[in-house]
Amino acid sequence: MTKVAIVQEPPVYLNIAATMDRAVELVEKAARDGASLLVFPEAWFPGYPTFVWRLSPGAGMGKTDELFAKLQANSVDLSKNGFAPLQEAARENDMVIVAGYQELDGKVSGSTLYNSCIIIDADGSIQNNHRKLMPTNPERMVWGFGDGSGLNVVDTAVGRVGALICWENYMPMARAALYAQNIDIYVAPTWDSGETWLATMQHIAREGGCWVLGCATSLEVSDIPNDIPYYDELFPNKDEWVNPGDAVIYKPFGGISAGPMHCEKGLLMAEIDVDAARASRRKFDASGHYARPDVFKLSVNRAPMQPVVFVD
Active site residue 207: no
Which backbone phi and psi does 193 adopt, to 5 degrees?
Answer: -165, 175
Measured between alpha carbons, how far is residue 218 from residues 236, 258, 310 in Å? 18, 16, 43
Sign of CA dihedral 189, 192, 194, 198: negative
Report d(CA 76, CA 70) in Å as an integer: 13
Catalytic residue, candidates 9, 42, 103, 207: 42
Catalytic residue, candidates 132, 139, 168, 210: 132
Active site residue 117: no
Measured between alpha carbons, how far is residue 288 from residues 100, 153, 207, 283, 292 in Å? 30, 16, 12, 11, 9
Catalytic residue, candidates 117, 166, 210, 215: 166
Measured between alpha carbons, how far is residue 21 from residues 16, 26, 28, 112, 301 in Å? 9, 9, 11, 25, 37
Active site residue 42: yes
Please count the other Cβ atoms lying within 10 Å of the Cβ belonging to residue 299: 6
Residue 292 CB contacts under 8 Å (≥ 6 apart), including other chains? none
Report d(CA 192, CA 166) in Å as an integer: 7
Measured between alpha carbons, how far is residue 1 from residues 30, 54, 123, 161, 273 in Å? 16, 43, 20, 16, 5
| 103, β-bridge pairs | 76, 114
Active-site positions? 42, 132, 166
